[in-house]
């Protein structure tokens, strides 16, 4: 299982890095800014994508996109296509880099992860203050750009999805909503200060973050994964939604479960990809279902009230 987990977590990274440059840079309509931010004496890096709409000066939504384990901001750009979506829909995107090894080798340079609680990698071992970094990142962007503070969101894949859950737990005062693809809550004690909208996308055939969880800690991620439904059910309960979701089929192989009547205008949605593996759905392996525009529509419909 540990070997399959390692292979699966790295699959999306390899696939993203293998994309043609034209696809990875298919965001030419906007502007990319590479920057660093000092946090606890460490220079943390990120890429900021500004859509053409940013030139107008009106406050725009902000989406923080969190890469998977063993990956980085550049790979997240290529994997998710959020920059192209931002250019079309008019929102700002930040792609932060997580924490790497203290002494990276040529092979591990540029491979980062997130301290998502009980996961993952060097970030967890070093107890990196990734919540503090991402708080500072949002604050810096808000000071430098016109941001709609009612529309600040986080989206993440794999370890990045687990970090998005941690932000919902520990920084719910900032984030109106989160999107998780192939992740789970691994925060030992999740105590949000306010409701957060949550959309979770997960394949039933995911071997890296198993749909039904794991009975013991996995050696690669050093985590014991709970059943995915437990993470979704936690947020449905905290947000005061109905306990039983309303299920509906959308496109072939996708089942949507919506938890209605959540408080404070929030929503909880669970998209189950039948036989789906550990991947960011791009509309090709899942015809008719691409995660990025689907997530953006959910975010756009659920600002903080």
| Digit-coded pLDDT (tens) for 170-229 | 999 999 999 999 999 999 899 999 999 999 999 999 999 999 998 877 655 667 899 999
Among 17-31, 126-140, 217-231, name the most confident range.
126-140
For residue 97, is it left (φ>0), alpha (ψ between -120 and 50) or beta? beta
CB within 8 Å of 216: residues ≥ 6 apart: 224
Among 2-16, 27-41, 103-117, 187-201, name the most confident range.
187-201
d(CA 159, CA 185): 10
Please tell me the predicted confidence (pLDDT) of residue 220.
Answer: 53
- Tokens 């993470």 sit on residue: 231
pLDDT at 127 over 70: yes
Structural domains in the chain?
A: 2-301 (3.40.50.1820)
Strands 177-181 and 197-203: parallel
Average pLDDT, the chain: 89
Give counts: helices (H), strands (E), the chain. Answer: 9, 10
Cis bond before residue 120 (omega within 30° of 0) = yes
d(CA 62, CA 46): 14
Name the strands in the sheet holding 92-96, side by side, starting at the edge strand that comes first in the sequence: 31-39, 42-50, 92-96, 60-66, 147-157, 177-181, 197-203, 268-273, 254-259, 246-249
Phi (first) and psi of residue 130, to 5 degrees: -75, -30
Beta-carbon count within 10 A of 46 CB: 21
Phi (first) and psi of residue 105, to 5 degrees: -95, 175
d(CA 219, CA 100): 18
- According to DSSP, residue 300 is labeled H
Among 148, 164, 160, 161, residue whose Cα is nearest residue 196: 164
What does the pLDDT look like over 242-276, one tens digit per residue? Answer: 999 999 877 888 999 999 999 999 999 999 999 99
| Residue 58 and residue 148 in contact, taking contact as beta carbons nearer than 8 Å | no
| Residue 272 and residue 227 in contact, taking contact as beta carbons nearer than 8 Å | no
Please tell me the predicted confidence (pLDDT) of residue 109.
Answer: 87
| Residue 181 and residue 161 in contact, taking contact as beta carbons nearer than 8 Å | yes
CB within 8 Å of 214: residues ≥ 6 apart: 1, 224, 225
Please tell me the predicted confidence (pLDDT) of residue 40.
Answer: 86
| Residue 99 and residue 71 in contact, taking contact as beta carbons nearer than 8 Å | no
d(CA 257, CA 16): 29
Q: Which two tokens stand for residue 29?
A: 């309509």
């Amino acid at each position: 299982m540990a070997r399959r987990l390692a292979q699966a977590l790295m699959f999306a990274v390899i696939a993203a890095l293998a994309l043609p440059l034209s696809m990875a840079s298919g965001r030419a309509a906007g502007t990319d800014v590479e920057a660093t931010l000092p946090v606890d004496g460490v220079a943390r890096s990120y890429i900021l994508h500004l859509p053409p709409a940013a030139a107008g000066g009106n406050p725009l939504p902000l989406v923080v996109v969190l890469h998977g384990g063993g990956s980085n901001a550049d790979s997240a750009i290529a994997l998710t296509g959020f920059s192209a979506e931002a250019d079309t829909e008019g929102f700002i995107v930040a792609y932060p880099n997580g924490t790497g090894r203290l002494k990276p080798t040529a092979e591990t340079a540029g491979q980062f992860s997130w301290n998502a609680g009980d996961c993952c990698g060097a970030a967890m071992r070093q107890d990196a203050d990734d919540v503090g970094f991402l708080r500072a990142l949002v604050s810096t962007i808000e000071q430098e750009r016109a941001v709609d503070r009612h529309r600040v969101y986080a989206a993440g894949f794999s370890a990045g999805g687990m970090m998005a859950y941690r932000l919902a737990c520990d920084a719910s005062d900032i984030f109106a909503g989160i999107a998780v693809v192939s992740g789970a809550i691994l925060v030992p004690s999740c105590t949000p200060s306010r409701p957060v909208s949550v959309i979770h996308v997960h394949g039933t055939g995911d071997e890296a973050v198993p749909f039904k969880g794991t009975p013991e800690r996995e050696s690669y991620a050093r985590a014991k994964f709970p059943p995915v439904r437990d993470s979704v059910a936690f947020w449905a309960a905290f947000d005061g939604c109905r306990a039983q979701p309303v299920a509906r089929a959308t496109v072939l192989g996708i089942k949507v479960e919506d938890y209605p009547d959540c408080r404070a205008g929030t929503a909880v949605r669970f998209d189950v990809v039948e036989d789906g593996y550990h991947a960011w759905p791009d509309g090709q392996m899942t015809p008719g279902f691409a995660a990025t525009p689907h997530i953006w529509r959910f975010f756009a419909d659920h600002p903080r009230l």
